[in-house]
Amino acid sequence: MTRPTVVTTIAELRAGLAARAAGRGSGSTPGSVALVPTMGALHDGHLALVERAAELADTVVVSIFVNPLQFGPEEDLDKYPRDLEADLEALDPFDVAFVFAPTASEMYPKGAAQVHVIGGPVAELFEGRARPGHFDGVLTVVSKLLNIAQPDVVLFGQKDAQQVFLVRQLVDDLNFPTKVEIVETVRADDGLALSSRNRYLNGDERRAAVAISRALEAASSGADRGIDAVLAAAQSVFMDERLVRLEYLKVVNPKTFLPVDDGYRGPVRVLIAARVGSARLIDNDAIYLN
């Protein structure tokens, strides 16, 4: 495959997409556009999104932007991994037309954005409670990217389940003419969900982190005995794992993303957040309570 064209300004991306839509230039292909928003540090989970995007659209845009709005003052904005050249090499085998890699000043030329998207009540739960303002920052930058690229489809990974729910709500509530496509979580051979933050883990921490996916498997094993059994089974996995500090374990209705009560029966999503060393990791799984 030809290495994607790297553009760093909004004007360049819009001009490049317009040229392809008009059929101008060597190799230009008019048609549908897919957007894969990322913060870089690409791994096989991101590449699964890119591969699916190429199946769905004629032109694939991958954005690489570490969005400052979604980081709190004590979070890892400054040390978040950045390596554009490695990301471009990872994208080489895929049919990507453009990599949009703007600076913060390009995306927010007046400094902190004066107009924000507010995620609402669900954005204040779980990850939103642990990271106040996080989802407002996510939804603000996603709104900007959708307006900039105007894609027919935008792709996200299921690992970030609460983000997926809120982006779908954003697109529906604000009438973006964009389909939201979700790709299942990509896991390592031992079950750990792939994440850019996994690279923060040392050897012992990496081995311990597998407790998160094992807890989700345990939760599923208790599904036929109700929510209390689901929670107890998952919690038991963490009891002897001293390197993993559980932050929350929740069971939510996938339609509302609100916690279910004891008598609920039907589809649910189990959410886990935990700290392993300096890394804060999240994962989730869909199960059915009988």
- 70's tokens: 């979604």
Report the alpha-carbon distance of residue 79 to residue 82 in Å, rounded: 8
- Is residue 64 within 8 Å of residue 39, measured between CB atoms? yes
CA distances from 69 to 54, 152, 176 (A): 29, 25, 21
- Is residue 61 within 8 Å of residue 36, measured between CB atoms? yes
Compute CA 211 distance to the chain's CA centroid, rounded to the nearest angstrom: 21
Amino acid present at 233: A
Q: How many Cβ atoms are within 10 Å of 172's Cβ, its own excluded? A: 10
Q: Which helix (H) or strand (E) holds 45?
A: helix 44-56
Catalytic choice (43, 46, 116, 134): 46
- Is residue 212 within 8 Å of residue 274, measured between CB atoms? yes
Which residues lie below 8 Å from residue 207, measured CB to CB, with a gap of 6+?
A: none
Q: What is the DSSP letter of 252?
A: E
Say whether 116 is catalytic: no
Nearest by Cα to 163 from 203, 134, 197? 134
Q: What is the DSSP letter of 4?
A: P
Report the alpha-carbon distance of residue 36 to residue 152 in Å, rounded: 11
Q: What is the DSSP letter of 125?
A: S
Which residues lie below 8 Å from residue 35, measured CB to CB, with a gap of 6+?
A: 53, 61, 62, 63, 145, 146, 149, 151, 153, 154, 155
Catalytic residue ranges:
46
